Amino acid sequence: MTEKVLARLSDDQNSNSNKIERAIATLDNSTADAVGLPAMAYTSEDFLDRERRTVFTNHWVCVGIGSDLPNFGDLVPVEVAGMPIMLVRDRSSKIRAFHNICSHRGLQLVTQPCQQQKLIRCPYHSWSYALDGELKSTPHFGGYWQDTYEGFDRASKNLQSIKCEQWLDLIFINLVGNAPPLEDYLQPVIERWSDYDLSLLSHGRDLSFEFDANWKLAVENFSESYHLPWVHPQLNNCSRMEDHFGFEVGENHVGQGSKLYRIGAMGDLTLPVFPNLPESRETVAEYISVFPNLMLGIHPDYFLALTVNPLSPTRSVERMSFYFIGDGATSIEYEALRQIPIDLWKITNEEDLETIERLQKGRKSPAFDGGCFSPALETTVHQFQRLVAKAIANK
Ligand code: FES
Ligand SMILES: [Fe+2]
């Protein structure tokens, strides 16, 4: 490379890191005076790497649902912060997370979900691990027909475990391993929704989507209702922008809701609702974005958990899991009624994804300066970006 090109690359890098520092500084301003994250926060591989080492490493991150692995011995591979991880339901029914690599030469152990395995066996040289991660067998490792050799430190070769906890059906991991208990992290959410008996949730159906945009744009879009009248005219007919409200959910999460949620009905039949809901909650839907990438929605008759994960700086995958109230609600009798919110989210999500992909395209323009926020309707987006900026500052 010529010196000129090298100088230009180093200028670009300096200007990128200046932009990040400037964004971190200005995001601390009040919402009216804040400047949003610069375009490179949505387009650059370096920025995503930095997010993987901070945002997705230091916090509790929702990585799957217990319904994916209902029986002991069920294994599910997932990717978090760009690394291979596996979820395992052990014999005591507890879900554990491990780095998804063999301790011998590092082969990725689990490549697809598998059911009711007694051991986790590496296909390369057949090392096997128990469901609690203990290394059980190392055939011929000490020579033919000898599993060991003198001085082999077997105990140091167990699977490497990752801090893993569950709330409801949602499985979270904390890669750095020193986060406070998950329940503390979620306490503001748990308190906010203490009127709902969440122990009744029954898993219904999942949807997933891939799209050409940075993961943060999906969270930002979920967190505000300002776009509702223009992006979701159909939704706006039943719940207008002015029927929405924002609320505080501690310092790590943001919330907004609608005062006019109407339960879907077919004739006289409706889905079962949360029992003993206060009257004030009967027509309310609330949405909370749990930092970094989990979005939750509660309605009198269903609960929604949505995660978004980066595949690259400009491509992401979203998964929606729908839960209904009580085991009976997932029976065949309610199938058509369950489809009402699912169809509504499909349409809404398609409308959102089209917008999100255009937001991504806009970030190719050198004229984009980070944008600004409505101090009345976008404090949630501002707070989310401030959390990202704060997290990446702790690289
Ligand atoms: S890499 Fe797994 S047994 Fe060799
Ligand atoms: Fe939307």
Residue nearest (by alpha carbon) to ligand 1 atom 3: 125
Average pLDDT over residues 362-387: 94
Q: Is 60 exceeded by the pLDDT of residue 209?
A: yes
- Tell whether the model's pLDDT for residue 15 goes beyond 80: no
Q: Is the CB of 141 under 6 A from ligand 1?
A: no
- Quick one: pLDDT at residue 9? 44
pLDDT tens, position by position, 214-262: 999 999 999 999 998 899 987 766 667 778 889 899 999 999 999 988 8
Among 203-207, 240-244, 261-265, 369-373, where is mean pLDDT lowest? 240-244
Ligand 1 pocket residue status of 102, Cβ below 6 Å: yes
Q: How far is the CA of 159 from the centre of ligand 1 (A)?
A: 12
CA–CA dist 16, 330 (Å, integer): 50
Average pLDDT over residues 267-278: 94
CA distances, 285 to each of 102, 222, 254 (Å): 45, 13, 14
Predicted pLDDT at 38 = 94
- The pLDDT value recorded for residue 11 is 55
Instruction: For the chain, list the domains and their CATH numbers.
Output: 61-165 (2.102.10.10), 181-393 (3.90.380.10)
Mean pLDDT for all residues in the chain: 93
Are 114 and 108 in contact by the 8 Å Cβ rule? The answer is: no
Closest CA relative to residue 241, chosen from 252, 257, 253: 257
Looking at residue 301, what is its pLDDT? 97
**Is the pLDDT score of 192 beyond 50?**
yes
Instruction: Give the pLDDT confidence of 115-135 residue by residue, as tens digits.
Output: 999 999 999 999 999 999 999
Q: Is the CB of 140 under 6 A from ligand 1?
A: no
Cα–Cα distances in angstroms (integers) from residue 4 to residues 15, 18, 46, 194, in the given order = 16, 21, 22, 61
Using the 8-state DSSP alphabet, how is residue 353 labeled? H
What are the strands, taking DSSP E only, across the chain?
Answer: 61-65, 75-80, 83-89, 95-99, 120-121, 128-129, 135-137, 161-167, 170-174, 201-211, 244-249, 253-258, 265-266, 269-270, 285-290, 294-298, 302-312, 315-325
Beta carbon of 122 within 6 Å of any ligand 1 atom: yes
Q: Is the pLDDT of residue 5 over 60?
A: no
User: What percent of the chain clears pLDDT 70, i.e. is strictly above it?
Assistant: 94
Compute the average pLDDT of residues 304-328: 97
On the question of pLDDT at 96 being above 70, the answer is yes
Residues 6+ apart with CB under 8 A from 103: 127, 135, 157, 158, 159, 160
Query: Rounded mean pLDDT of 345-371?
Result: 95
- The whole-angstrom separation of Cα 379 and Cα 224 is 8
User: Could you tell me the distance, in angstroms and rounded to a whole number, from the CA of residue 122 to the centre of ligand 1?
Assistant: 6
- What's residue 21's pLDDT? 77
Assess whether pLDDT exceeds 70 at residue 7.
no
What does the pLDDT look like over 29-47, one tens digit per residue?
Answer: 899 999 999 999 999 999 9
Return phi, psi of residue 314, to 5°. -120, 10
Q: Which of 108, 120, 125, 159 to mutate to test the pocket of ligand 1 (most atoms within 8 A of CB)?
A: 125
| In contact, 195 and 277? CB cutoff 8 Å | yes
Decide the pairing of beta strands 302-312 and 315-325.
Answer: antiparallel
Tell me what pLDDT residue 1 has: 41
Q: List the structure tokens of 93.
A: 């029914």
**Residue 80, CB half-sphere, CA atoms under 13 Å: how many?**
32
Does residue 371 surpass a pLDDT of 60? yes
